Structures are given as C-alpha cells and as structure tokens.
Amino acid sequence: MELENILTVGIPKRIDEISTLLMCEICGWRVNTEEELLIHRRTHWI
C-alpha cells in the first residue's frame, strides 16, 4: 500500500516521550502528569 499526499500536523515527539504519557481511560486524551489527568477526568464528572 502506498500513501501519497499525506499532511500531518502536530508537534513532533520521540517514541520515548510518547510512552511516558498518561491516558484518560474514557476518551483517550493524553497528558504528561497525574495531576493533569485528575483535572481532565473532572470533565467526565468522575
């Protein structure tokens, strides 16, 4: 399969940076710290 004309927008991250991110179990949102994750979870009323 050949992929052409693909534009990716975002901040480039190394794989070791991505593996340290925490993820919301409900929506998949990724954050850097446990505190940020707790704050984000409030948007889901948890």
pLDDT for res 43 = 94
**Residue 41 to residue 25: CA distance in whole angstroms:** 9
**Cβ atoms of 45 and 30 closer than 8 Å:** no
pLDDT given for residue 1 in this prediction = 58
Calpha distance 46→44 (Å, rounded): 6
Which structural domain, as residue segments, surrounds residue 22?
15-44
Whether 30 is covered by a domain: the verdict is yes
Question: pLDDT tens for residues 12-22?
Answer: 877 777 778 89
Q: Is residue 26 part of a domain?
A: yes
Domain for residue 40, yes or no? yes
> 21 with 32: CB under 8 angstroms?
yes
Q: Give residue 4's pLDDT band: very low, low, confident or very high (50, 70, 90).
A: confident
Whether 24 is covered by a domain: the verdict is: yes
- Model confidence pLDDT, tens digit, residues 23-45: 999 999 999 999 999 999 999 98
Domain count within the chain? 1
